[in-house]
Structure formats: C-alpha cells, structure tokens
Amino acid sequence: MALTLVALAATVVVFVWVLLPLFGTARQIAQSRSAEDVQAAVSKSVQELRTDLELHKIRQDDLDHIQAFLEEESSK
C-alpha cells in the first residue's frame, strides 16, 4: 500500500512538473526573420520550383512569375 502511495505521489509530481510551463508567464514569439533567413527561404523555394520545371510539373512562364513574386515579397 505504501509503495502504491509513493508511486502515485511521484506520478502527480511528474505530471505537475510537465504541465507547469503551460501556466507560466507568456513570452512573445518573434514575428520577423533576418534578411539572410528570408533570402535562404526564397532560394530554396526557387530551387524546388526549378526541379518542378525539370520534371515538367510547371511551365517556364509560371516559374518566372512565381520567382518575381517571391523576390518582391521578400524585399518588403
């Protein structure tokens, strides 16, 4: 019986320890990226689109339009 109570108490302590961060003070999440991160994301997207172009999933004019849009949006 005592072992069961110890196990139950340990379980409650672990449960509270795991859930405690949910009730702590809220931290703000950064909403902006560095210019390098944005440029890397654009480069990766363009590379994936070029792969799609090579696999004939998209057309060249679509790639040009999407690439121009990504570059315009990343410069904002």
The model's pLDDT over 44-73, given as tens digits with 9 standing for 90+, comes to 998 998 898 888 888 888 888 888 898 888
Is the pLDDT at 75 greater than 80? The verdict is no
pLDDT score at 12:
96
CA dist 29 and 3 (Å) reads: 44
Least confident interval from 12-16, 20-24, 40-44? 20-24
The pTM is what? 0.50
Q: Exposure string (b/e) for 17-51, b if CB count within 10 Å is 16 or more? A: eeeeeeeeeeeeeeeeeeeeebeeebeeeeeebee
Q: What is the residue whose two structure tokens read 């999440």?
A: 29
Domain boundaries, the chain: 33-76
Select from 67, 62, 65 the least CA-distant residue to 43.
Answer: 67
Token pair for 14? 């672990």
